[in-house]
Structure 1
């Protein structure tokens, strides 16, 4: 390769490393005619396209690189990674295995198989692949971190901590290891040391961007009057849960502007009149801000240990004067009691997380078919419906009331919840809403729950009215569903 071509590819690769993917593609496309027989050109272009989620075009580039050099395992791995980003895990595995056909000890392919198996919740295969990778490179930090995460989602927390501590001893600032260790500590209730690790979530690749970094971070109460922005992160359930801290801000010198999901604006404004709430997307319109803090980081300041958690009777939210729509109220009143609300599915962003938390409508029918009275649908419409070929199934006996938008009308949903006699839900945003309003609720948790519900116990550290019902089996909810149905029936 002549020197000008080499320099151009180096420049494109540098743009890629700087995450300037569009600039990288512009440079490559403007000079494409000179590189039709250059595999490096197609590799860099494919990687940039993959980062922009242009998966089909990305795969085409890697295929072209393979045609130019079929004995290079890297393009096969790149195709696998691009397919995995597009949630095509089984197809991804085929290309990782093709890479291993070329080079049986190719580390990136073995790791790719482990990641794909993790996303498919095949933890036995995941562990096998990562162990194979560690046999090749015993102190590989990324592989140890991934294996630790594999242990963690199986509830093997001590094994996970052993690996993560080993990683952090070698690389104190390893964000993924610190974040995962923080999540385990939060689940164990070790809040004193957990929040520091959890602050690494911004660089771990698991969370959204760390915003408003041009402003100083607010680190806690001061005697100085200033405007502080508390900005939203993660999902609506977390906004509700960390909203339990908002009353701690009441008597401070600072004035707080709190960003929130627009669906929560009415509820939060009625519940916390001492705070100024701003729906997402409108933060730029507010008074000049002197400092900022992400919502979950309030935990490290105000919930540094279990003694500082408050669980007020009756919850901490109010709907003010909001009422149910007349048609919803009338339809509910016509139904026999008890009125039992249910929700069975999670809409977490990743399939893996959703799969662990959710219960299929068919299996959830084990519960609903036995419950007395009227079973009221509290389930949000599925925002991931495009991933399924059929309409969202509904469990047996579940009634969807007219006139209420379960996804977008949080105040209306809360008004309905307050009229119900009981709620049974998985650990989703409905559970958080019930706890925040002090509604008696059974929350069904998988055998390995996420940190918000801790790893053990029937009581929630965040909510007084919730009873945590923990499944003992990994892939079978029937025993727990039968038990809950029997207990509710006996109580009526």
Structure 2
């Protein structure tokens, strides 16, 4: 319709609003665009159009519309609220803060506005302030499950685990189907070694971000841990580190009579075939019904059946992975430097969201540790040439890189290289899991709060999953000085 033939904008707005309220976003947006073609600064049309863009998963377009709306009316609490939400979707928490503040200032009794404010403060690591915001939301709306769940996360970040558990339980009591609260409760229970209770809530992981099941897993019966004549598929979930972790239980299943397939990242298969007879290992990426299995279970559900309490870890076979002895012996000849202690090092995690807080620069790791009695070997996956060269030029510290081993693609080769080292120093990544599964003495650097995963928690003074790993913790977030000093002292005793 030509612009000059449009009905008056004010006549179209009620129609657009009706479509919007019925969830008819296409019809609403057509009418809103007609209004904006005639009146580009129509506040209501800009606001509703911005909300529609946000609902369609178009946060940048939402931000553009909502900023235009604010240029017309700068003190509307709902526009500030919706603009802050769109910025959160884009990960722009710092940019969202002034809009959170304005939304809560203009509408101080808006519980969701306080909740969102707290979420951004949490992401910006302003943890105590985030708790204040969550508490304000709870003052306005007692028993607000989302606020309780997020407050629990913030308390856990401060190491106040029992208080965080209480928050998650309250959230579940208010909203039993709140998947994130069940999942968060499981993770904190695991940190305390409350395994029996934790594994029940651990199954809620399938409703959280990053977890999904293939169609073949949904269609097959879930194995209950029993002996059977029916063939069984145990399949890996998440990344290589998680697959190695949960596979620690597999040796206890080797004597079960049924045919046992184990689907893993294909890079792990040569190492596992050597280490664990009694299973047929297959590439996780190619699994289908054609394999002919009758029952299935994700590896992450094995602990619910076989690790109900701390005492059950006594059944674990440690180490449970075996490197290629011949290859390891050859590598030892290449990396040995007389009587110097050969230290394999890995300093970075590429994990999305949390990788940065678990990582440090190579120079940051090794300048406090360097000594004439230590020789460093590169175990880090990815291209490390620039970092190694910069370290040698600036500090005279060599980190030997073994060219024949691709630390990312050749996991069997990496295992042999780890076995050839005297000790491993690493951050929380797949190298740490691999070293632990091989039984290699490992000094593990762990962050405070974010990135300190449940499986590294020390129970009764040790990490139950890996007896050869010793953890060294940050005392303040982002500061590696203290754990590096402790590792230096530990190396001096070897």
- TM-score, normalization by structure 2: 0.83
**Distance in 1 separating the partners of 2:59 and 2:65:** 10
Following superposition, the deviation at residue 264 of structure 1 comes to 1.6
Instruction: From 443, 455, 459, give the equivalent of 2:462.
Output: 459
Q: Is 1:197 the counterpart of 2:201 in the alignment?
A: yes
Superimposed CA distance per residue, residues 141-171 of structure 1 (whole angstroms, 9 cap, x where no aligned partner): 1101100111012110121122222222223
Following superposition, the deviation at residue 366 of structure 1 comes to 4.8
After the TM superposition, which of the residue ranges 72-81 and 458-467 deviates more from structure 2? 72-81
Change (3 A) 1:78 1:400: farther
Aligned residue number for residue 215 of structure 1:
219
User: Alignment RMSD, CA only?
Assistant: 3.3
Q: Is 1:251 the counterpart of 2:255 in the alignment?
A: yes
Aligned residue number for residue 89 of structure 1:
93
Q: Is 1:170 the counterpart of 2:174 in the alignment?
A: yes
Please state whether the residue corresponding to 2:440 is helix, strand or coil. Answer: coil
**Distance in 2 separating the partners of 1:277 and 1:444:** 32
Aligned residue number for residue 422 of structure 1:
423
Change (3 A) 1:456 1:444: farther
Please state whether the residue corresponding to 2:463 is helix, strand or coil. Answer: coil
Change (3 A) 1:144 1:293: same
Superimposed CA distance per residue, residues 107-141 of structure 1 (whole angstroms, 9 cap, x where no aligned partner): 33322221122122221221122122222223211
1:399-418 paired onto structure 2 within 5 Å = 399-403=399-403, 404-418=405-419
**Distance in 1 separating the partners of 2:84 and 2:48:** 19
Change (3 A) 1:455 1:93: farther
**Distance in 1 separating the partners of 2:332 and 2:150:** 50
Following superposition, the deviation at residue 466 of structure 1 comes to 1.8
Runs of 5+ in structure 1 lacking a partner? Answer: 14-23, 384-389
Aligned residue number for residue 386 of structure 1:
none
1:226–1:253 CA contact under 8 A, matched in 2: no
**Distance in 1 separating the partners of 2:98 and 2:328:** 52
**Distance in 2 separating the partners of 1:441 and 1:269:** 24
Superimposed CA distance per residue, residues 232-259 of structure 1 (whole angstroms, 9 cap, x where no aligned partner): 3222211111010112222224433333
After the TM superposition, which of the residue ranges 364-373 and 458-467 deviates more from structure 2? 364-373
Following superposition, the deviation at residue 3 of structure 1 comes to 7.9
Q: Is 1:47 the counterpart of 2:54 in the alignment?
A: yes
1:366–1:478 CA contact under 8 A, matched in 2: no
**Distance in 2 separating the partners of 1:270 and 1:346:** 27
Aligned residue number for residue 264 of structure 2:
260
After the TM superposition, which of the residue ranges 454-463 and 122-131 deviates more from structure 2? 454-463
Please state whether the residue corresponding to 1:229 is helix, strand or coil. Answer: strand
Change (3 A) 1:85 1:321: farther
**Distance in 2 separating the partners of 1:267 and 1:30:** 59
Superimposed CA distance per residue, residues 371-412 of structure 1 (whole angstroms, 9 cap, x where no aligned partner): 7321122222389xxxxxx97986962514141222222111
**Distance in 2 separating the partners of 1:231 and 1:82:** 37
**Distance in 2 separating the partners of 1:273 and 1:33:** 66
Please state whether the residue corresponding to 1:368 is helix, strand or coil. Answer: coil
Runs of 5+ in structure 2 lacking a partner? Answer: 1-11, 37-41
Aligned residue number for residue 149 of structure 1:
153
Following superposition, the deviation at residue 261 of structure 1 comes to 2.0
Change (3 A) 1:455 1:133: farther
- TM-score, normalization by structure 1: 0.83
Instruction: From 468, 471, 478, give the equivalent of 2:471.
Output: 468
Superimposed CA distance per residue, residues 187-213 of structure 1 (whole angstroms, 9 cap, x where no aligned partner): 11111111001111222x343224436
